[in-house]
Chain A
Amino acid sequence: MQHSKTLMVAAALLGSSALSAHATDLQFIMCGGEVRPADQVVIDQFQKDNPDIKVNMEAVPWGTCQDKSMTLAAAGNPPSVAYMGSRTLKQLSKNGLIVPAEITPEMEALYQPGVLKTVSDGGKYWGYPHAFSTKALYINCDLVTAAGLECKAPADWTEMIAMAKAIKEKDGVAGIGIAGKDFDNTMHMFLDFLYSNGGTVLNAETGEVTLDSQNTRETLQMYKDVMPYGIEGPTAWERDQMKDLFNDGKLGMYVNGPWGFGQQKEKVPNQLVVPVPHGPSGVSGTILITDSIAVFKQKDPAVEAAAQKLAAALTSGAAQYDLDKTWGLTPILQYEKMDVGEKPYYVDDAFWKVFVDGISTGGPEPLVTDFKSLQGVFTTMIQGVMLDEGGSIDDLVKQASADLAEVK
């Protein structure tokens, strides 16, 4: 009797494990170190609607997350799905590690202009865009007025440099923060200014390198001109560190995303958010950066199908709206064309207008096959100006263009 009981228990256990083996397990790597509540709601609902699918979440900080996903994929043990920077997509797709995103024509029509370009290559979309940012110039009005100036948007680079100079000469604090550290946002900030001067990096149609231009030279020249009024030792600073200086009243202005307002409003209540000033050859623009949900190639097609389904659910209209609104992101979809049950948070809002208006004149983060080398190319060029090394501006631009041709 005892033996038969044991056998029954063993059979039940084996049966349950066999059942669980039939269920589809999704490994989801979420870059950013946390699963946002808006995403968790969708994931919970997804599991409820699909009881045979289990989603295993792993939140990993940005510093190591993309490397982790890519290394796992390269080693033949990819996650099912990962939320990561769209800049990684071309490298992953060229190496056959991810599959195209199945974005419906209805959804295509809803994305903000330029967003889908950040995930496109070879006529396919390689990720579901899930977070979008544009940038603006944050100004500490207390420092500006203390310097004897009116706190208003600098119309162009000349006015911006004059404002930075006045702040620096009045209080000795940095007039403007220009990122120069070996970090991605050094490139991003440069592209904010390059796109605001009519510059480009790659030809969208042909993929040809277009960095070697007068627009790039003028942007680098502006960096050189503003250095005396910027943060001391800019090659040690990246954007997020500048936020602390700004909050301490030691920085007059710098470029950041919409999230900066909330992070600064307590310590710098008198802050002004304005479009990135334009250079002599362009109109105000911004870099359009997205993070996407990528579906990795799997041996089991059922896992791939489940991953596509989950990615689509997370980026669907209502779910995406909740994320954008609660996180304070630039709207990735044109929610005014949808029914989200309320007036979209950015409509008729002066703060959001700055970030939304920049979309039409913005440029994408370049999609290349070696995104880390791309970052290195820009950092080397920018640090060349900051450290006065590597030759003239002309030499630096020519070298960067040549290097870029190798990594595109």
Chain B
Amino acid sequence: MTDVVGSKSPVIAKAGRRGLSEGWFAWALIAPAMLFIGVIVAWPLAETIRLSFTDANMGGENFVGLANYEKLLHSSKFYEIIGRTFFWMFLSVGLKLILGLIGATLLNAAVPGRALFRVLIMPPWVIPIAIGCIGWLWLYNGHFGIVAGMMQRMGIIDGPFEILAYKNSAFYAAIVTDVWVGTPMVSLFFLAAMQGVSRDLYEAAWVDGAGRWYRFRRITIPQIMPVIVSMALLSAIWTFNSFEIIWILTQGGPRGGTTTMIVDTYKTAIGNYKFGEGAARAVVIVVLLAVFSLIYLQILNRVNRKYGVK
């Protein structure tokens, strides 16, 4: 074992004998993956950046320098959309993490039929998002939907109420649907992490008289904290870029009340055929998410160091 770790592997040694240096051989090995990433990530990104400096539309394109970015900088509407996007992301991710943690804890409990419950939480994640959203559209319908119907029966409202017709209610309704779609996966990740926590820790705490809440707070949470942080980052990126849910429910309306950056980008680039302006918006999204991810990774490193994860 030590020999393999401490010396050149037989394959590399063989490559070396044929005259290919170790460095070049390593590059050769990762070249296919690099090429793949170059084609599906780097090239589209570079092309998007290039387009953002043009007025590309249906009829062609001309170089316009920073005009698209200047237009964004001077648009109060765009700042409103950025603010709404971060609010959407933090609220939705926060709810997903809290509900995911509660769900994982319940699914990890030794109760009869646990396997069945684990299967039952999957549908929101497993069924196609479009199908799920169309179901929610019906639930939210003010005249025929269950939500408004129940509210009427409970005396909260005295007639039909169109949930998706008003800016605030439409926004929070979209959050509920996004949380419904995203929570099962978070729960499953947390559940997997919880199952990796040593039983010895719980038994030792139990012997010392620690209660359930104390054990959860001082053992479970710290032990799964790296997973929580990682999941929060991934979920934040997915939620930030979540498109289908908003598009199917409200198309960003009413009056832009549910328009997030990704919806605004789609409307501009694809809906209005302003590819250059849309590309500038996409580049802003990439920059914002990159900065956000860097900050998050710093936090993740600190958390990992604190909890001794390499």
Contacts and interface: CB of A to CB of B under 8 A. Distances in A.
Interface of A: 67, 70-71, 73-74, 91-92, 94-97, 172, 180-182, 232-237, 245, 250, 370, 372-373, 379-380, 383-384, 386-387, 389-390
A346 B39 CA distance: 60
Interface string B48-67: 00000000011110000000
B58 A73 contact: yes
A236 B255 contact: no
B93 to A, nearest CB: 27
Given A235-B165, A236-B165, A245-B143, A74 B255 contact: no
Contacts, number: 81
Nearest to A73: B58
A301 B163 CA distance: 53
B44 interface: no
Taking chain B's interface residues, is the majority helix, strand, or loop, or is none over half, making it mixed?
Answer: loop
12 contacts: A74-B57, A74-B273, A92-B58, A95-B57, A97-B58, A232-B143, A232-B161, A233-B162, A235-B253, A236-B162, A383-B255, A384-B255
B59 A96 contact: yes
A242 to B, nearest CB: 11
A73 B60 CA distance: 11
Contacts of A373: 272
Contacts of B159: 172, 232
Contacts of A245: 143
Nearest to B257: A387
Given A94-B59, A380-B255, A233 B160 contact: yes
B252 A236 contact: no
A235 B57 contact: no
Contacts of A380: 255-256
Interface of B: 57-60, 142-143, 159-167, 250-256, 270-273
A130 B255 CA distance: 33
Given A233-B161, A236-B162, A250-B143, A383 B253 contact: yes
Contacts of B273: 70, 74, 91, 370
Contacts of B270: 67, 71
B272 A97 contact: no
A95 B272 CA distance: 13
A178 to B, nearest CB: 12
Contacts of B272: 370, 372-373
Contacts of B57: 74, 95
Contacts of B167: 387, 389
Contacts of A233: 142, 160-166
A235 B256 CA distance: 12
A92 B270 CA distance: 15
Nearest to A95: B59
Contact of A182 (B142, B160, B166, B251): B251
A182 B252 contact: yes
Contacts of A73: 58
A65 to B, nearest CB: 14
A138 B309 CA distance: 70
A71 B270 CA distance: 8
Contacts of A181: 253-254
A237 B251 CA distance: 13
Contact of B254 (A71, A172, A182, A370): A182
Given A67-B270, A232-B142, A235-B165, A95 B58 contact: yes
B59 A236 contact: no
B78 to A, nearest CB: 15
